Every structure is written in C-alpha cells, then in structure tokens.
Amino acid sequence: MPPVINDKCIYCGNCYEICPGDVFTWSDQSEKPTIFYPAECWHCGACRLECPVDAIEYDFPLGMTHV
C-alpha cells in the first residue's frame, strides 16, 4: 500500500522528516528510512515531493487496484 524506497535513495531522511502520518522510521543514518506503519499511509505524496532523487515509488495493493 505505501510508498516504496528504491535504490536511488541517498539516505537524506527527507521522507522521514516530512511524512504527515509519521509512518517511517529511520534509526541508522547510513541506511534507507523504512516504512514502519504501512497501514497508516494516506498516499498524500508528500514524501515523493520532498525526495531529491526520485527514490519514492508507489505500490498499490490489490484491494485498491482490483476492487
């Protein structure tokens, strides 16, 4: 359901900083942030808008694409 962070990620943490639902965690700054609360994502796109390297993609579940 939530955004997916691809390999272009440069570990800047913008997505973690900006998310209005606070669905990311980012404990190790040498790694990608991770989606910790996927069910709480609103698909607002704020993380992608703030990503400097196009590392955010969206993956919609079947419950949205096939109903």
Partner 1 sequence: MKTHHLKTDVVIMGGGLAGLNAAIAAAERGLQVIVMDKGKIERSGNISGGVDHFMAYLETGEQWDSREAYLRFVQEEGYGIVNIEIHNRVFCDELKGAIKRLERIGSPLPDPNTGAYYRTASMGQPGPYWINFNGKYLKPNLAKEVRRLGCTVLDRVMTTRLFVSDRKLVGAFGFHTRTGEMYFIECKALVAATGNTNRLYETPTRMPFNTWLCPYDTGDAQRLALEGGATLANMEFLRMTIVPKGFSAPGLNAFTGMGSYFINGLGERYMSKYHEKAEKAPRNWLVWGTLSEMKEGRGPVFVDSRHLPPENLTHLKKTLGLDKETLNDFFKARGIDIEKEPMEIMVSEAMQTGPIEVVGSGIHIDKNCMSTVEGLFAAGDCADQMKVVHMAVAGGYASGKCAAEYALHHPFGGCRSEWVREEEARTMAPMRRKQGLHYQEVEDVLRRIMAENVGPSRTKTSLETAQKKIKALAPYLDEIKANNVHERMRSFETESLMKVGEIMTHAAMFREESRFIPYHYREDYPETDNKNWCGQILIKQKDETITTEFKPLNYKI
Binding site for partner 1 (CB under 8 A): 1, 17-22, 37, 39-46, 48-50, 58, 60, 63-67
Residue among 15 and 32 whose Cβ is closer to partner 1? 15
Residue among 52 and 63 whose Cβ is closer to partner 1? 63
CA angle 12, 14, 16 (to 5 degrees): 105
Residue among 9 and 41 whose Cβ is closer to partner 1? 41
CB of 10 to partner 1, least distance (A): 19
For residue 17, what are the CA distances in angstroms to 35, 61, 65, 66, 67?
A: 13, 25, 29, 32, 33
Q: Which of 3, 1, 60 is nearest to 16 (CA)?
A: 3
